[in-house]
Amino acid sequence: MRLGAIRGFARYLHEADPQVEVPAADLLPDKAGRAVPYLYTDAQIAALIEAASTLRIAHKTATFQTLFGLLAATGMRIGEAIALDRPDFDADARTLTVRNAKFGKSRELPLHSTTTSALTQYLRHGDRPRPVGATEALLLSSVGTRLWVSDVQTCFRALRARAGILPRSAACRPRLHDMRHSFAVNTLLDAHRVARGAMPLPTQSTAGSLAELPYHPHIQHVNPGKTYWYLHAAPELLELAGGRLERHLGDRR
């Protein structure tokens, strides 16, 4: 990465002085790569929520249990969850409004009744601190401020260790963002299990040229190709897909 910065500076100097050497692009190339997603099981999510009960402050326990459950149930980004305000939650309509998310976009998320109940119970928690200043944050820290991503990540690392959630490899380590991957895979798993006969793919993106496919509000992508990054070959998904292929081929296989 440092050599890449030097290349850019060297190219600039080379315009003024042709004798300045520009390091070759194949010398220590910096290849960008993505982490291997960590697909959580339901048991691991439950263990993580249970581990939050070991936190010493009751409100902090309630906040992190609600946060982990919300990420798993909606596929939200951690930054989106932290940015939620109380008016963004409509218990009667069972919706959450995510405002000014990635690229300044907003969307409305439908919630399951259990998620609505959990959020309502959290807001009625007896020891909820008084908000500091004019903050209307839905998820409050133990001192009444909006949560910080760095603090959440630090607490998550400690709790995942207590929950026994271990890396599967050097490139596949449990992250909060992987709950979004897990949500996308579970959504497709549910569609496979419920479908009878032909199954319309419940794409998590605006369909673009595939206008006949429904828009999934939880992920919110303009390009379906961006959503497919969140879909991975989980063993359960491969088993269901393989079964559908066998039924389709019949004796021809």
Q: Which residues are catalytic?
A: 77, 102, 177, 180, 221, 230
Dihedral (CA of 162, 151, 55, 98) sign: negative
CA 52 centroid distance within chain: 19
Residue the block writes with tokens 């007896």: 126
Q: 3-class SS at 90? A: strand
Give the CA distances from residue 188 to residues 30, 102, 139, 227, 231, in Å, rounded to whole numbers and listed in that order: 34, 23, 29, 12, 8
Tell me whether strands 89-90 and 107-110 are parallel, antiparallel or unpaired: unpaired
Cα 37 to Cα 172: distance, rounded to the nearest angstrom: 6
Q: 3-class SS at 213? A: coil
